[in-house]
Amino acid sequence: DAGVIQSPRHEVTEMGQEVTLRCKPISGHNSLFWYRQTMMRGLELLIYFNNNVPIDDSGMPEDRFSAKMPNASFSTLKIQPSEPRDSAVYFCASSFPDRGNSPLHFGNGTRLTVT
Amino acid sequence: DAKTTQPTSMDCAEGRAANLPCNHSTISGNEYVYWYRQIHSQGPQYIIHGLKNNETNEMASLIITEDRKSSTLILPHATLRDTAVYYCIVGVPNAGNMLTFGGGTRLMVKP
C-alpha cells in the first residue's frame, strides 16, 4: 500500500503564475478530498469527489481555484493566477465510503509558497 | 460552528498514559467520533473511531460516554513520537466521509 501520493512536495512560484498540484489516491478508493492548511485557518476542506465526480466544491475559495479528477487514480488542483495569500500546505486524502466507516487517508501534502 | 471542543494543549510524561478529552455535546445519533493526529510536516493520520461502544486498536483506546456527549482518547504508554496535534471530529461516514477539522489538542510528550 503506497498510500496517497502527492506531488510536488514543495512548490515555490511567483505571484501570477499558474500552479498545479497533483494527487494519486489509494487504489480502490472512490472518494477524494482536497484540504488546505494554514496557521490562521487550520485544515479547510476545499472540494470533494466521489467516483470522479465533484460533489461539493463550496470550500473552493475563488474562481482562481479549480480541481479535476479525470480518472480514478489521478486528481489535480490548479490555481491560476496564484497570489501570496494562497501560500499554504495542500493535502489530498482518499477513502472508500462504500466500505462502511472507511477513514480518510492523507498524503504528506504540497507546501506552496507564492512570492 | 465547532462541533467539538478540545483543550488547546496538553503535556504528558514519556511512558505514562495520555488522556485526551473531547466534548461533542451536539452529536447526532448517526454521527461517529473520529480521532486523527498530525505529526509535524506530515498529513493527518487516522487513529480510531467509534459510535457508542468503547474501541481499542493497536494505537489507542477510545472511551465514549453513555450519553455520547464526550469522549477520551487514551494512548496507554506515550512515547516522544506521539508528540502531535490530535483532532477529535464527529461525522457521518456515508456522507462522503466529509470531516471538518477543528483546532485540535497539541500533545507534548516530555522525557
Strands (E), chain B: 9-13, 18-23, 32-38, 45-50, 55-56, 61-64, 70-75, 84-91, 105-110
Q: Which of residues 7-36 of A touch B (CB under 8 A)?
A: 31, 33, 35
**Angstrom distances, CA of residue B66 to CA of A70, B69, B70, B76:** 45, 8, 9, 22
d(CA B106, nearest CA chain A) in Å: 13
pLDDT exceeds cutoff 70 at B55: yes
Question: Which of A59-63, A105-109, B10-14, B74-78 has the lowest average pLDDT?
Answer: A59-63
pLDDT band for position A4 (cuts 50, 70, 90): very high
CA of B93: which chain A residue's CA is closest? A101
Q: Are A57 and A44 in contact (CB under 8 A)?
A: no
Chain B environment of A110 (Cβ under 8 Å): none
* Banded model confidence at residue B101, pLDDT cuts 50, 70, 90: confident
Local structure of B82: helix, strand or coil: helix
DSSP line for A19-64? EEEEEEPPTT--EEEEEEEETTTEEEEEEEEETTEEEE-TT--STT
Q: Is the pLDDT of residue B2 over 60?
A: no
Confidence band for A2, pLDDT divided at 50, 70 and 90: confident
Indicate the residue type of B7: P
What's the confidence (pLDDT) of residue A1?
Answer: 63
Mean pLDDT of the A62-77 span: 96
pLDDT at B1: 46
Pairing of strands B70-75, B61-64: antiparallel
With a cut of 60, say whether residue A45 has pLDDT above it: yes
pLDDT in tens, B3-53: 899 999 999 999 999 999 999 999 988 889 999 999 988 999 999 999 998
A109 touches chain B (CB under 8 A): yes
